[in-house]
Amino acid sequence: MRDLCDEAALAFRRLTGFDRVMIYRFLEDDSGAVLAEARDEAMPSFLNQHFPAGDIPRQARDLYVRNVVRVIPDVNYAPQALTPAPEGAPLDLSESALRSVSPIHLRYMRNMGVGASASVSIVVEGRLWGLVACHHASPRLMGREVRGAAASLSRAFARQIKSRADAELLRARNQARQLEEGVMARLPLDMPVALSLTRVMSQLMQMMDADAVAVVADGRAVCHGACPDQPALIAIADWVAARPDPRPVTTRSLSALMPGAEAWSATASGLAGFVIPDSGGAVVLWLRAERIETVRWAGDPHEGVRHGPLEALTPRASFDAWSETVRGQSALWSAAQVESLARFRDALSDFASIRSLRRRNTNLLAELAERDNRLAQHDFLLREVNHRVQNSLQLISSFLALQAREHGDGPGAQVLGEARRRIKAVSLVHSRLYLADQADSVDLARYLTELVEDIGGSSGEDWRRQFSLDLTPLRIEPERAVTVGLIFTELVINAQKYAYAGAPGPIEVRLDLIDTRFRLQVADQGRGGHNAGKGFGSRMIESMARQLGGEAVYRSTDTGLIVDLTAPARLDSRS
């Protein structure tokens, strides 16, 4: 930028022919500094000197944006009044190149030893960046063509300034983003945000090009670099946390904002910081040490414009170099660093959210693992219970078989055999639960097939060949399968006893799924007449059909008895 300004000063001097041409830039406090200068050796130099903000008031700067070129051909001119028509509106000469300037400014120019002056505004993105200030020892005109050329050259110069500033800002932004990403990548997710920042203090300090960094939480400060003492850090953190504006704060002069901060100027003149999101009020602080500067002013900046003896405004008369030592200020935080600070705060907010989500996920996974463990234990216990019940039922079945053999062919043996078959129906369900992978359901078709094989085996080979099966696969709850099995066993016992008077005869078994209900049909080709009665078996069938939410219907035909058991296929489909 310095080289660009040097070239611009030479170009404008060649164009205008003025004795001294300066590139003057406005600073952040509205004061100005001469960045470059091209001059005749007879003219005094103002290079690198500063001018107070009062030398160019705010209203004058606004006019510089509207009028790019302003010329005073002779500081000793006699202004001529323009009087509007009696009934006309006041004249607005804001856009006029011939508009007279303030007599204060003319006195200011004469005090500087200038005979003629011109200014060319440097406007970058609608904002007055600075001026090309042209001075001549004697009166000098600037013609219309030169004024137009100067305006064009100023616009080209402004584009160069913007281009170089944008390139520098882009480079600084890219570097800042890389440093931010480096810090975020190093933050451990398994600890609170404030504590995790204390693990990357060196990277935090590098990210903001600070002299020190501190994380203050729960009345305790963790610091890296040249920091003030603990009470000072806690006081600064409390001041940052008490601000109503939650956005990050940046200042090069903390003592100008925070009472008592001048005591820590040596290490904490500059401050950048914010309250860490979702941290319970923890604060992160970047600090910059005091940078003592000697500023060369063109005259005493504290003199300014004073009131004369007749209450008329008079400009300062001396422009001799005047030095001032500036204390209590650090180096400026750059625009890229200020942007980086805001992004980093937002990134920490996202980080805190991610950490919270991860913690919830971890807790959820632990709960799921615990639930899976309980389910596994439950499944193990269920299988163990089924295994023990199965053994117990088999033991009871064996006892009944022994008892039946002791009775020989007597009536007791038949009763015991029926009881044994009923127990076998229950035992088969438990057997399926114990052996199956799914303990929450039973294949009813397979279960009935096994029941038929067991009944045929216990009744003799002649009976085994009499069964014909047509079963649709259907899974139902284990407890309902037991109920269906007991009803089915009872129906088969009735057919064996009453349809064929104990002799072997055909028994057809069908299982169908009709919409949401199943139908189990048991049909014989016997003599018929053995419909539902008042005996134990009939009462048991009726009761268990109600438990299923269904009913058992008996139909006598010319060819035997048909019994249809219908019930909902699932518990939640009962009507």
Edge-to-edge strand ranges of the sheet holding 507-514: 467-471, 507-514, 517-524, 560-568, 551-557
- In the structure encoding, which two tokens stand for residue 524, read together? 């014989």
Which pLDDT score is estimated for 318? 47
Which pLDDT score is estimated for 433? 53
CA 196 to CA 187: how far, in whole Å? 6
pLDDT score of 69 more than 50: yes
Helix (H) or strand (E) holding 484: helix 478-494
HSE-CB for 48 with a 13 A CA cutoff: 5
| pLDDT tens-digit series, residues 210-252 | 999 999 998 899 999 988 999 999 999 999 999 888 889 999 8
| pLDDT tens-digit series, residues 269-285 | 899 999 988 778 899 99
Which pLDDT score is estimated for 400? 75
CB-CB contact of 568 with 574 (8 Å): yes
pLDDT score of 402 more than 80: no
Average model confidence (pLDDT) across the chain: 82
Angle between helices 444-459 and 478-494 (to 10 degrees): 40
CB-CB contact of 113 with 92 (8 Å): no
CA 394 to CA 400: how far, in whole Å? 10
Which pLDDT score is estimated for 438? 55
Give residue 510's pLDDT band: very low, low, confident or very high (50, 70, 90). Answer: very high
Averaged pLDDT, 511-516: 91
Pairing outcome for strands 220-225 and 475-476: unpaired
| pLDDT tens-digit series, residues 447-481 | 888 888 877 776 777 888 888 999 999 998 888 88
- Angle among Cα 345, 346, 350 to the nearest 5 degrees reads 120
Pairing outcome for strands 127-136 and 116-124: antiparallel
pLDDT score of 494 more than 60: yes
Give residue 48's pLDDT band: very low, low, confident or very high (50, 70, 90). Answer: confident
pLDDT score of 342 more than 50: yes
The DSSP annotation for 251-275 comes to ES-GGGTSTTGGGGHHHHSEEEEEE
| pLDDT tens-digit series, residues 282-331 | 999 999 988 765 544 444 555 544 444 433 334 444 454 445 555 678 88
Helix (H) or strand (E) holding 475: strand 475-476
pLDDT score of 357 more than 80: no
pLDDT score of 423 more than 90: no
Instruction: Give the three-state DSSP class for 138.
Output: coil
Single pTM value for the model? 0.50
| DSSP3 helix / strand / coil % (the chain, rounded to 5) | 45, 20, 30
Which pLDDT score is estimated for 327? 67
Is 172 buried (19+), middle (13-18) or exposed (0-12) by CB count in 10 A?
A: middle
| pLDDT tens-digit series, residues 34-44 | 999 999 999 98
Which pLDDT score is estimated for 13? 96
CB-CB contact of 421 with 465 (8 Å): no
| pLDDT tens-digit series, residues 6-32 | 999 999 999 999 999 999 998 877 888
Residue with tokens 């009507």: 575
| pLDDT tens-digit series, residues 546-572 | 988 999 998 888 888 899 999 998 755
Spatial CB neighbours of 450, under 8 Å, sequence gap ≥ 6: 428, 432
